[in-house]
Amino acid sequence: MLFELNLQEPEVQAAVINALGSIVTTAIAAICAGLVGQQISGRRRLAEKLQLAHADIAFLLSVEQAHCELHQERVGQSQKNTIRRLVKDKGLTWSGKFTPGRLCYPEFEGKR
C-alpha cells in the first residue's frame, strides 16, 4: 500500500495551508503566553523585592530610633541630626520618601 501525495490538487493544497496556518497560530499563541507569563512573574519578583526593601528601611529606622533613645538616656540629646549631618558630609543622601508614614502605594495597602 503506497501513499501518494499529489500537491497539484487544490484540496491537498488547501489542507496543507490549513495545517501550516494552525501550526503558526499555535506557535504565536505559545510565544505570546510565554512573554506575558514572564512579564507577570518579573513584576511579582520586583514587587517582592520592593516589599523587602521597605521592610529593611523600616528596620533601619527602628534601629536609628533605638540608637537615638540610647543617646537621649546617656547624653541628654538624641544626636539624630548630628549623625545624619555627618553621614551627609560623607556624600550619602537619603530622600526620606520611604518612611513608614509616607508609604502610600496602593499595591502595598494593608501590608505595612
Helix locations, 1-112, DSSP H = 10-75, 80-89
Distance between CA atoms of residues 18 and 72, nearest Å? 80
Q: What is the pLDDT of residue 2?
A: 64
Average pLDDT score over residue span 38-49: 91
Q: What is the pLDDT of residues 46-104, one digit of tens each?
A: 999 988 988 888 888 889 899 999 989 998 888 888 898 999 999 998 887 777 777 65
Q: What's the rounded Cα separation, in Å, for the pair 66 and 58?
A: 12
| Spatial contact of 112 and 55, defined as CB atoms under 8 Å apart | no
> Over 50: is that where the pLDDT of 112 sits?
no
Higher pLDDT, 44 or 108: 44
Predicted local confidence at residue 109, as pLDDT: 53
| Per-domain residue ranges of the chain | 12-108
Grid coordinates given for 79:
544626636
How far is Cα 2 from Cα 18, in angstroms, rounded to an integer? 24
pLDDT at 7: 81
